[in-house]
Amino acid sequence: MKGTTDAGGQSPAVRLQDGPPEPPTGPVAGSSAARPLPAPADGAPPTRRRASFGARWRRDWPLLLMALPAVLLLVVFHYVPTLGNVVAFKDYDQWSGDTAIEAILNSRWIGFTNFAELFADSQFWDALRNTLLITTFQLVFFFPLPIALAILLNSVVSTRLRGFVQTVVYLPHFFSWVLVITFFLQMLGGSGLLAQVLRDNGLEPWDVMTNPDTFILLVSSESLWKDVGWGTIIFLAALTAIDQSLYEAAASDGANRWRRLWHVTLPGLRPVVVLLLILQLGNALSVGFEQFILQRDAVGRQAAEVLDTYVYHLGLLTQDYGVGAAAGLFKAVIGLILILVANRVARRFGEEGVFVRS
């Protein structure tokens, strides 16, 4: 059947298609939009253009200026003295030069002779044993106490009471070891308050300050009283970073106080606990100097000699600088190994650790 035509001889259907052509909706051939973008590799993060050194300097110079005093402090008092560890491999003679640098340069190399002499010394092994025993005891019984105290203080409703207790436990951190040991001596010494009370009641006073068998309990108690507030402050700061909505969600699901502690609080504290534990392991052979040197004569060398006091007596008092430097270098290397191992173990368990290799 033929379609009807108008006066011009065209069908209406053909006339409806007349007019200006519509613009193309797709990309024009040859344009940049027509060329497909390269697909990123599977799993590869999008590449970001790194800023130039000048741009980064203009952006970060205030932060670098603020960090400059701390960097200078580390360089002058930590990195530059580290070069003196070369004495551990030399037969150091302080009279072989007009200055210490000349004496180090003029001293002859002897390799690992100082380390062999160090490991053959029985007093070194006594100091190492005491150091490891004290470190292990404090790590097991002292390290969890700031965590428990921070959780207890965080659950206190009264902010005024919380601030008062926090100030009381934090204040001894600013006391010197001379003052701390004097306080314990006045309280627990042979003529202290506890001994006088026991004598007044016809009892024999306890030998606390001069008993080598209980010395590890004494130094751990002194460290606990002095530094538990510092650890509490750190864990309180970590508790404030936990999202409070997690507690609300756990409470709405019917979790009691202990369940919220186990499933919300402790997982929130875990990164900080792992970080401080790694740093504590790095200082495993550095239990302190002043605390032990002040009480060494009272309890005897067998109980109070640690690696720090051993290096002091061997290197400075007897002027055997080579063996003393070898003992200090041994302590530093073992601490570095412990940090690296603990950091690797922490990362294997899914924690961030102290540092991450880029």
- What's CA 45's distance to the chain center, in Å? 30
pLDDT at residue 138 greater than cutoff 60: yes
Q: Place 38 in a pLDDT band, splitting at 50, 70 and 90.
A: low
Sign, CA dihedral 134-136-139-142, equals negative
Residue 290 lies in a domain: yes
Residue 222 lies in a domain: yes
3-class state of residue 90 by DSSP: strand
186-207 mean pLDDT: 86
Residue 235 lies in a domain: yes
CATH number of the domain at 280, please: 1.10.3720.10
Q: Place 30 in a pLDDT band, splitting at 50, 70 and 90.
A: very low
Report how far residue 305's alpha carbon sits from residue 128's, in angstroms, rounded to the nearest whole number: 9
Residue 15 lies in a domain: no
87-100 mean pLDDT: 86
Please provide the average confidence, as pLDDT, over all residues in the chain: 82
CA dihedral angle for residue 260, residue 243, residue 349, residue 275, rounded to 10 degrees: -110
Report how far residue 322's alpha carbon sits from residue 339's, in angstroms, rounded to the nearest whole number: 26
Please report, rounded to a whole number, the percentage of residues in the chain having pLDDT higher than 90: 25
Structure confidence at residue 193 (pLDDT): 87
46-56 mean pLDDT: 75
Q: Place 310 in a pLDDT band, splitting at 50, 70 and 90.
A: very high
Q: What is the largest CA-CA distance in the chain?
A: 138
Residue 297 lies in a domain: yes
- Is-contact 289 275, C-beta < 8 A? no
- pLDDT tens digits for range 206-251: 888 888 888 999 999 999 999 898 888 889 888 888 888 888 888 8
Residue 83 lies in a domain: no
Answering whether pTM is above 0.85, one says no
The residue segments making up the domain with residue 306 are 111-348
CA dist 120 → 59, 324, 327, 328 (Å): 56, 13, 12, 16
Structure confidence at residue 202 (pLDDT): 84
Residue 16 lies in a domain: no
- If one counts the domains in the chain, the total is 1
DSSP character string of 310-330: HHHIIIIIS--HHHHHHHHHH
267-295 mean pLDDT: 87
Residue 142 lies in a domain: yes
30-44 mean pLDDT: 50
Report how far residue 320's alpha carbon sits from residue 162's, in angstroms, rounded to the nearest whole number: 52
